[in-house]
Amino acid sequence: MLTFLWKFTVTCCLLNYVNPEDNRDIPAIAKYFNTKGRYEEVNPYLIEDILSVNKSVLQPPSAQCQEIHLTAIIRHGTRYPTTRNIKEMQQIYNIVRHNASGEQRWLREIQTQWTMWYTEDMDGRLVQKGVNDHKHLAVRLSKLFPSLISEEKLRGGFIKFITSSKHRCVNSTLSFKAGLTKLWGITDQEFDHTVNDALMRFFDKCTKFVEEVDNNSSALVEVDKFKQGPEMRRVQEKIADRLGVPYSLITHVMTEAAFYLCAYEFAIKAVNSPWCQLFDEDDAKVMEYASDLREFWKRGYGHDINSKSSCMLFHDLFSRLNTAARENKSGQQVTEAVTIQVGHADTLLPLLTLLGFFKDSDPLTSTNYASQTGRSFRTSYMLPYAANLVLVLYDCGGGDLRLQPLLNEKPVAFPGLTDQKDPMPLYQDVKDHYRELLRGCDFETVCQLFKHTAEV
């Protein structure tokens, strides 16, 4: 079940969500864009002030508590569509331009004013909004944790940067560093980063995941069934009716391409595109569920190996926490005060799943759309661009170490711990809770790397 704290913060977000009627630049369906959504839809207060932070969410049990280590695992910032998506967008644009008929203003705008400006060479590259996503996140985290993310720590080499090799991740890492150096006016020193795909793209390295899920069409059978089901068929028919074209022209792929055009135009250019008029809120909810269903079965709880593929990142995370705890206990200065790790939605989701976050009582399937409207597993809130899982280790005196997890700058509670309302449990209790994973969850074993080597 979704934790108390997450329910509270999501409720706050929904209550503070900027009403599209008040801000016509925001599509009415923007909160359903899944992994193509803006970070600002998760934290609407940022629309007014992109550097705003709410320090009251940090509630250590006593004034004695001092942060000693922070690890942030961050998704890259806003990017262009992939080449495959762009090809599909071109197809739906051609259908609307040459086959659609009607007098609606938005339709005439697509046919006569909007141009297909996406090109295949853009292929998932970071856009300027993505650069800003990470620059601004860096500043906000430094405001939330000034004793850790500080000029002194950065200059002293106590902040480590790790990234996936993908250009959008490397450029996001550079942007995060640029946010800090600009904040403190640093021009006389540069700061290195390490490319580590074993950590940040573990899903490519896990043989069992690649063979049983990534390259196995039967692993996503529930997704395929939903695409052919009555909810999605109704959305496709409504779009065909709005465009005045035969139903046969509007497949699921074309429907998704149109939805992505709305999402990307908003995420990249902050415009409420005429493409958004193809979908009402009910349509958007179906599109969101289709995407969540795919993430559930491809990276989430659908298959055990999805989460287990992140074992290496899981152990790396706790190794850093243990090292910081050990150094702090011995009276040493913590040598790695901050670790910034930049990867993908596909990096974060398996780890969140392994930790037990956002697990509903019933799995997402092709037939339970109606009963899943209140589900916890909703990627629009979990995994927007620049989504981040931050874990902060505190020393509260007398050997009392506590760990606070935050997702997208809001506190969450570790699922399954006795006191779900405690935002900062004892670090030892957290380790006890994940004891079995810490003892096992061996990447080479769960991913069957030895089997692969033997076959080769």
Active site residues: 76
Q: Give Cα 320 to chain centroid, integer Å.
A: 22
> Could you tell me which residues come within 8 angstroms of residue 281 by beta carbon, excluding any fewer than 6 positions away?
28, 29, 32
The helix or strand, by DSSP H or E, that contains position 68, with its residue range, turns out to be strand 66-75
Strands (E), 157-311: 159-163, 194-195
Contact 159, 192 (CB under 8 A): no
Distance CA 21, CA 26 (A): 9
Q: How far apart are CA 341 and CA 280, in angstroms?
A: 37
Give the HSE-up count for residue 9: Cα atoms under 13 Å, Cβ half-sphere. Answer: 25
339 three-state secondary structure = strand
Q: What is the rounded distance in angstroms from the CA atom of residue 241 to the CA atom of residue 252?
A: 15
Asked whether 55 and 404 are in contact (CB, 8 A), the reply is no
CA 23 to chain centre: 25
- DSSP annotation of 212 reads I
- Closest CA relative to residue 366, chosen from 225, 255, 219, 232: 225
The CA dihedral of 161, 200, 437, 304, to the nearest 10 degrees, is 160
Burial per residue of 212-233, b for 16 or more beta-carbon CB atoms within 10 angstroms, e otherwise: bbbeeeebbebbbebbeeebbe
Q: What is the maximum span of the chain, computed from C-alpha positions, in angstroms?
A: 74
